[in-house]
């Protein structure tokens, strides 16, 4: 009897240990699933960004042995975009070493981009502000605005319209013929 009780106790202890391990593994699975959701969302954002960047750089062609198409592997596609950006910098005549940002003359860059744009792409020229306020509109509140109704005038006219519609009509008395 003692041996049976001891076996039952050990069996119960093993079952409890297995249930504890199962709960730990389920918690780890839930945490892993949450991490997977975050990683999937991040991967989709990265792929979308790389696809947008590739679309912007589609006119920059790389020479063999490099390819000009998207492989689907974000790391390879990002390296390919970096190569295209380097090629673009070389074509534009930017000089600069690794990790340095080249200084660009804005007017020269705009002229270059304008020469590359198709005629259907219309650019709007914005005048440079010279700092003078001569063209600004100034409203003088003291100036009398003839012909414009004030708030009180509008209220008065509205009340007159209401009163004309709401006046009780006088009943005509019927004359009886006797």
> Average pLDDT, stretch 102-129?
68
- Look at residue 59 and tell me if it is in a domain: yes
Number of domains in the chain: 1
Query: Which tens digits make up the pLDDT trace of 23-64?
Result: 999 999 999 999 999 999 998 898 888 888 888 888 878 777
> Average pLDDT, stretch 153-178?
76
Choice among 8-12, 30-34, 121-125, 152-156 with the minimum mean pLDDT: 121-125
Rounded to two decimals, the pTM is 0.42
- Look at residue 61 and tell me if it is in a domain: yes
Q: What is the pLDDT of residue 166?
A: 77
- Look at residue 86 and tell me if it is in a domain: yes
* 176 pLDDT above the threshold of 70: no
- Look at residue 24 and tell me if it is in a domain: yes
Better-predicted residue by pLDDT, 143 or 157: 157
- Look at residue 117 and tell me if it is in a domain: no
- Look at residue 112 and tell me if it is in a domain: no
Q: What is the pLDDT of residue 40?
A: 93
Query: Which tens digits make up the pLDDT trace of 81-114?
Result: 888 888 888 877 765 555 555 566 777 777 777 7
* 136 pLDDT above the threshold of 60: no
User: In 3D, which of 94, 73, 75 has the Cα closest to residue 85?
Assistant: 94
Q: What is the pLDDT of residue 35?
A: 95
- Look at residue 138 and tell me if it is in a domain: no
Q: What is the pLDDT of residue 17?
A: 95
- Look at residue 100 and tell me if it is in a domain: no
Residue-number span of the structural domain to which 8 is assigned:
1-94
């Amino acid at each position: 009897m003692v041996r049976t009780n001891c076996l039952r106790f050990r069996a119960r202890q093993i079952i409890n240990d297995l249930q504890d391990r199962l709960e730990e593994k389920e918690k780890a699975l839930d945490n892993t699933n949450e991490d997977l959701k975050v990683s999937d969302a991040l991967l989709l954002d990265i792929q979308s960004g790389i696809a947008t960047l590739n679309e912007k750089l589609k006119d920059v062609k790389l020479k063999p042995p490099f390819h000009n198409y998207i492989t689907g592997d974000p790391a390879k596609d990002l390296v390919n975009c970096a190569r295209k950006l380097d090629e673009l910098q070389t074509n534009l005549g930017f000089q600069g070493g690794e990790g340095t940002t080249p200084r660009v003359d804005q007017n020269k860059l705009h002229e270059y981009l304008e020469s590359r744009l198709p005629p259907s792409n219309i650019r709007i020229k914005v005048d440079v502000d010279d700092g003078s306020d001569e063209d600004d509109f100034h409203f003088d509140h003291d100036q009398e605005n003839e012909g414009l109704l004030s708030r009180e005038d509008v209220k008065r006219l509205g009340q007159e319209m209401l009163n004309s519609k709401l006046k009780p009509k006088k009943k005509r008395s019927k004359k009886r013929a006797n």
